[in-house]
Structure 1
Amino acid sequence: MPRLGRTLPARILLAVLGIVVVTLAVGFALFARLTSQTADSHAIEQATGIAVTLGRVPEVARAVTDGDAEHALPALGAQVRASTGASYVVIIDRTGRRYSHPNPALVGKRIEEPVVALDGQVHTGIDEGSLGRSANARAPVVDASGRPVGEVSVGILESEVGVRLTAEVLDIALYAGIALALGVVASLLLARAIKRVTFGVEPAEIVALMQEREAMLHGIREGVLAVDAKGVINVLNDEARRLLGVDSTGVGQRVEEVVPEGRLRRIVTGEVEGVDLVAVTDEHLLVLNRMPVLVAGRNVGWVVTIRDRTELEALVRQLDSMEGLSTALRAQEHEFSNRLHVLSVLLELGEVEEATRYSRELQAETALASEEIRARVGSPVVAALLLAKITVAAERDVVVRLDPTSRLEAGRDEDLPLVTVLGNLIDNAVDAVADDPRTAGSHPRGEVLVRVTGSADSLLLTVSDTGPGIPKDRLADVFLDGYSTKPPRGAMRRGVGLALVHRLVTRAGGTIHATSTEGATFEVRLPLRVRQGAP
């Protein structure tokens, strides 16, 4: 369990409250400063208005000139102070003598500073007077001729301004409380929304999951491709990049931008459905499985696992070929044992001439096929391939013949995938003939005709069979990964051989075509490469 204060709702609540409190504090400080400056300005204007008005009253000028013989100015100052809310109203003559003051003990005494309003101007500012700090205005007291005879000093203490500011601060505090309450509610709603999106996982758990995921995804030897519901890749580990041939990270891109057009993309996007689907690239034979991802009943995308079966499939096919070859060799061994037994019996009976004739027939039969192939095919590797395929096919009661018009000079197959292409085409043709239900019980089951010819700039391979052929509407599909009309045989996957042949021919710059009339015919044209330094 996460520690108290470390849960996602608590973190969001603390963050939101911190933001709101700091914002309100900064705003309050600015507001208090501006309000204080505004209040001071307003107090100075108010004090100025009182002082100017009182200084222009004729009775005040006469009383100041007569020395306030009737003692009317203290009462007038108190009356003005009470009616205007001023903190003090001080009337002073030219000599600085006070005629009114909130403190009666100071009436009649002189002020310490000079009488500045005798210049006929109004002087304002913040004054540190005997009653405290105040907004002060000093206006001249003028007689009937307009001559200054004294001054009126009016002040509004800072405490009075503070009372007004305090009243406004209460409104600010109310606003701050409402803002805090809204922040708490918003943080709780935000926390619930984030928890719903993250399926209730806490931040510390998310960090741990991310670390574990990165270690696992990039440590396994299986490609993993994860796509969200919008088709955007959000996981692509190193093995998947290697198998798909992706140079960039791929994360954040759409599948169409990373995976090239073809069967591989259709498997990833779900257009092709199934289990252990096969896709062939230029470098690899891949087996893919696509699984949807459901979290809390919601479809959040899908995950595709990619396994490299290139080497394993090659070994399976080699093993299958070796099994076929060993079966043929066992059958030939049995046949040769019978022939040797016949020769032995003939010699035991003293039929030397008959034994010699029989031996010569066997020798001629054995050497005929190899001599015919070697006469037409100059490449030892291709000739050996044809002899091996003829032997294996014979055990399945299928005849493999080399077309008499075949001609292949030695050295013409260098740097070309001739053995792989020809071997796969012959294997497919033999399978089609041997598995044809129409020829069950007949001997032989059918025939495969191979033709290999060369021109000045290319090699032409043609493999025809007498099998059931290919449906007209599926001729374009025979080279697709995973397409096959034959049932699986053992661990070897169907629908891979022709796809590999197509990749090899295309990479070599050649072409391959399939036709079907009576059986199937595959025609391959491979361009010859002129080696540097060749005449």
Structure 2
Amino acid sequence: MSKWAGSTWTGRGLTARSLAGQFLVFQLLVVAVVLGAVAAVSVAQSSREFRDVRGQRMIAVAENLASTPIVRDRYADPFAAQLLAPEVDRAVALSGARLVEIQAPDGLVRASSEPSRVGQRDGFEHSRVIEGRAWSGDLDVDGSHSLVGQVPILSTDGDVLAVVSVSEPYPSVWQLLSGAGERLLVYLGLGAALGLAASWLLSRRIKRHTRGLEVAEIAGLADHREALLHSIREGVVAVNTDGVITLLNDSAQGLLGVTGDAVGRHVDASGMDPAVVEFLLSGDDGRDVVITTRTRVLALNRRAASTGGERIGTVTTMRDSTELASMQAQLSSHKSVTDTLRAQTHEFANQLHTISGLVQLGEYDAVRDLVGTLTRRRAEISDAVTRHVADPAVAALLIAKSSLAAESGVALVLDDDSHLTALDPALATDVITVLGNLIDNAVDVSEGSERAVVTVALDDAGELTISVADSGPGVPEHLREAIFARGVTSKPDVPGGRGIGLALVRLVSAQLGGTVDVSDGPHGGAVFDVRLPLDRPDGSSGNA
């Protein structure tokens, strides 16, 4: 957006005033309005002063003329206009009035300072002078709005013999303003000076806070900011120092499962996942954190926002890592298989070395007994699993995990009441992910414990229930929700990040419409219970 001499080019092809110029015009308009109000007040005040002062003057002149002997003696003379003209003119000269007249009770003008009005008739409809009282007020005289004072000439009986009327037209608005000219000039000078000073100071302050940008430029920057923030794929959440959300772009709304109404609310009242709320209100800045909500895996980074060296809040960016987490789950399954094969290879190598040594010693009977024992033990393990678990993939996982747990000195036991029929291949894959991560976690925490036992229970009556109990230290009450988020682990000697397996357990369970809970075991340790519907979210049955 280009600038020319402090003005901006608008879409209409007109040169708009600068922000300072707009404020100057506004201030001058305010001054003009104030002066207009002052002028109106001055006119009203001058009119009131004219009515009060000149009204009394008109009455006084009329009373003086009415008490003149020649007026009282000759008011009804046929030649009153000529006889009383000097007295009428003297009253005009003394009062400064425009018109002085002597009228009969019926309104007939007998003598006037304006000879042309002699013989005309003006009524007393709006006056009380016929009642024998002096009166002053506003009347239209020859089409001119005038202030009139009227005094009756009374007989000894109190009858009205004649009326002396003295009138003066109201001054025009311009004349009233001219009379108050000095005050108006003072008000004009003060108002203009104050307006210019205020406009200059205000424009400087606004330019300092807006970096010298004009209105159109500020609006353009705001529009561009909104367009950019709401079009990027990464979620952006801004929180001020009071914990109130000030920005939430479209991507963040979708990732966090909230609406734009959350802007302006405190983070606690926004409806976000508790793990996300805790991170947004924490003091960790500049650190990448992976948080697993009930439906997504989010990678978040939070940085402090400041202006002028003063902290104004934080800005958190987030990316959806759910697909990456799913790939990690698959890699974890492959790694589990690799570890199981490694353990079995190590076990078979030890057994082969033993057999080789016995053969070299010629102890063939001992070789026969050892092979029989190993075969019988392997058959017992397979029978113990396949007797309760009909799904080949899950059974194979349990058999493989038994060998891997044994290598760590932990006994993996399948509960005698377990029962599982063959599952749909897609559901079986998810069950392997859930069960494998739960067993791995249980073996890790049980290794080195007094009992060192991991118990697995499976049940598909109504819904698929997976229960894995360990003999470890258990999960503290305050960690039972956080342990499923951002790599939290209950093992004190394991660095952060190992807890991603439990996060995947909850993520897969939520995607299948199930739940996962943790509680204390009857003999210590923790029990993880997973409940999954046998009917998949796509409507297909989980049983093969």
Deviation at 1:315, TM superposition (A): 1.0
Distance 2:529 2:339 in 1: 33
Task: Find 1:494's aligned residue among 472, 493, 498.
Answer: 498
Distance 2:108 2:233 in 1: 104
Which residues of 2 match residues 44-443 of structure 1 at below 5 A?
Answer: 46-65=57-76, 73-91=84-102, 96-98=109-111, 101=113, 106=115, 111-114=118-121, 121=130, 125-128=139-142, 134-137=146-149, 139-142=151-154, 150-159=162-171, 163-192=175-204, 194-195=206-207, 198=210, 201-247=213-259, 249-260=261-272, 262-270=274-282, 275-326=287-338, 369-390=381-402, 397-398=407-408, 401-403=411-413, 405-411=415-421, 418-431=431-444
Identify the residue that residue 352 of structure 1 maps to in structure 2: none
Q: Are 2:33 and 1:9 equivalent residues in the alignment?
A: no
Deviation at 1:248, TM superposition (A): 5.1
> For residues 230 and 359 of structure 1, do their structure 2 counterparts lie closer, same or farther at Cα, with a shift above 3 Å needed?
closer
Distance 1:111 1:74 in 2: 11
Distance 1:317 1:455 in 2: 24
> For residues 297 and 474 of structure 1, do their structure 2 counterparts lie closer, same or farther at Cα, with a shift above 3 Å needed?
same
List per-residue Cα deviations over 1:261-302 (Å, max 9, x = no partner).
733211111256661123221101222222121011122221
Deviation at 1:87, TM superposition (A): 2.9
Task: Find 1:461's aligned residue among 467, 472, 497.
Answer: 467
> For residues 473 and 152 of structure 1, do their structure 2 counterparts lie closer, same or farther at Cα, with a shift above 3 Å needed?
closer
Using the size of structure 1 for normalisation, the TM-score is 0.72
Amino acid at match of 1:127: V
* Structure 2 gaps, min length 5: 8-15, 356-366, 536-540
Deviation at 1:257, TM superposition (A): 0.9
Distance 1:95 1:7 in 2: 69
Amino acid at match of 1:174: V
Deviation at 1:324, TM superposition (A): 4.9
Amino acid at match of 2:262: G
Distance 1:117 1:452 in 2: 117
Amino acid at match of 1:114: R
Identify the residue that residue 359 of structure 2 maps to in structure 1: none
Task: Find 1:512's aligned residue among 501, 518, 529.
Answer: 518
Distance 1:331 1:278 in 2: 31
Distance 1:248 1:475 in 2: 31
List per-residue Cα deviations over 1:452-500 (Å, max 9, x = no partner).
25597895633436x8x579899768725232346569xxx43332344
Moved more, 210-219 or 325-334: 325-334
Contact 1:235 1:251 in 2 (8 A): yes
Identify the residue that residue 452 of structure 1 maps to in structure 2: 457
Moved more, 295-304 or 10-19: 10-19
Distance 1:528 1:286 in 2: 23
Amino acid at match of 1:111: V
Distance 2:469 2:59 in 1: 116
Aligned-pair identity in percent equals 30
* Structure 1 gaps, min length 5: 344-354, 439-445
List per-residue Cα deviations over 1:408-438 (Å, max 9, x = no partner).
223398989754432112222455688x8x9
Contact 1:279 1:288 in 2 (8 A): yes
Amino acid at match of 2:330: Q
Deviation at 1:235, TM superposition (A): 0.9
Distance 1:252 1:380 in 2: 54
> For residues 113 and 508 of structure 1, do their structure 2 counterparts lie closer, same or farther at Cα, with a shift above 3 Å needed?
same
Identify the residue that residue 348 of structure 1 maps to in structure 2: none
> For residues 202 and 386 of structure 1, do their structure 2 counterparts lie closer, same or farther at Cα, with a shift above 3 Å needed?
farther
Distance 1:385 1:196 in 2: 69
Query: Secondary structure at the residue paired with 1:452?
Result: strand
Distance 1:159 1:409 in 2: 112
> For residues 478 and 326 of structure 1, do their structure 2 counterparts lie closer, same or farther at Cα, with a shift above 3 Å needed?
same
> For residues 472 and 41 of structure 1, do their structure 2 counterparts lie closer, same or farther at Cα, with a shift above 3 Å needed?
closer
Deviation at 1:224, TM superposition (A): 0.9
Distance 1:47 1:147 in 2: 22
Deviation at 1:88, TM superposition (A): 3.8
> For residues 225 and 41 of structure 1, do their structure 2 counterparts lie closer, same or farther at Cα, with a shift above 3 Å needed?
same
> For residues 368 and 200 of structure 1, do their structure 2 counterparts lie closer, same or farther at Cα, with a shift above 3 Å needed?
farther
Query: Secondary structure at the residue paired with 1:32?
Result: helix
Amino acid at match of 2:299: V
Distance 2:532 2:163 in 1: 119
Distance 2:17 2:421 in 1: 75
Amino acid at match of 1:410: L
Aligned residues, how many?
498
Contact 1:270 1:290 in 2 (8 A): no
Contact 2:333 2:433 in 1 (8 A): no
Distance 1:192 1:283 in 2: 52
